[in-house]
């Protein structure tokens, strides 16, 4: 009997940590379904993604470990999707440890470790430090370096 795994996430600024968790989740079963949080649901959660929902779900759909990507529109959807898709394993990053233990009455709940050294939150923090003045300063610096390289060539 094929084993179906289900997970959810925003998958904003897709990075190697996202890929690693999807690969590990796929290894737990024969079929991986990924719920991608809509922009509206992210607003409810207090999140504002950089990449719009339609692009994020298209990125997730293109990952070879993912068999199906669906919109995640609310918290209650998890239990409904478990039943709808005949899910055997619910898996998610261990930053959510304990938050979905209640699903254990109908599926195996697995919390996977995060990839060290990378997170969307940290990427957003670093990017937020770049305002127009900093970008102009960086451009001038790169132009200066380019000029030095030309003169040394």
| Residue range 46-69, pLDDT digits in tens | 998 988 999 999 999 999 999 999
* pLDDT of the residue at 125: 67
* pLDDT of the residue at 143: 79
Fold category of 4-118 in CATH: Rossmann fold (3.40.50)
* pLDDT of the residue at 124: 65
* pLDDT of the residue at 116: 75
Active site residue 48: no
* pLDDT of the residue at 23: 96
Q: Which of 3, 23, 47, 64 is catalytic?
A: 47
Q: Which of 45, 48, 99, 139 is catalytic?
A: 45
Q: How far is the CA of 4 from the CAs of 11, 37, 89, 105, in angstroms?
A: 20, 20, 6, 16
pTM over the 0.95 mark:
no
SS3 category, 108? strand
Active site residue 3: no
* pLDDT of the residue at 115: 73
What are the tens digits of pLDDT across the range 65-95?
Answer: 999 999 999 999 999 999 999 999 999 999 8
String of DSSP letters for 39-96: HHHHHHTT---SS-HHHHHHHHHTSTT-SEEEEE--TTHHHHHHHHTT-SEEEEEGGG
* pLDDT of the residue at 135: 67
- Boundaries of every domain in the chain: 4-118, 119-153
What are the tens digits of pLDDT across the range 89-124?
Answer: 999 999 899 999 999 999 999 999 987 776 766 666
């Amino acid at each position: 009997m094929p084993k179906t795994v289900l997970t959810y996430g925003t998958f904003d600024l897709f990075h190697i940590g996202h890929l690693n968790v999807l690969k590990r989740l796929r290894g737990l079963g024969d079929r991986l379904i990924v719920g991608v949080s809509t922009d509206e649901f992210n607003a409810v959660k207090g999140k504002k993604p950089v990449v719009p929902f339609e692009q994020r779900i298209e990125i997730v759909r293109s990952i070879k470990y993912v068999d199906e990507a669906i919109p995640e529109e609310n918290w209650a959807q998890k239990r409904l999707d478990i039943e709808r898709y005949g899910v055997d394993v619910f898996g998610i990053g261990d930053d959510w440890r304990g938050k979905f233990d209640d699903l254990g009455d109908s599926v195996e709940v697995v919390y996977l470790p995060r990839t060290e050294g990378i997170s969307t939150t940290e990427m957003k923090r670093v990017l937020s430090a770049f305002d127009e003045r900093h970008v102009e300063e960086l451009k001038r610096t790169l132009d200066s370096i380019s000029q030095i390289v030309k003169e040394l060539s």
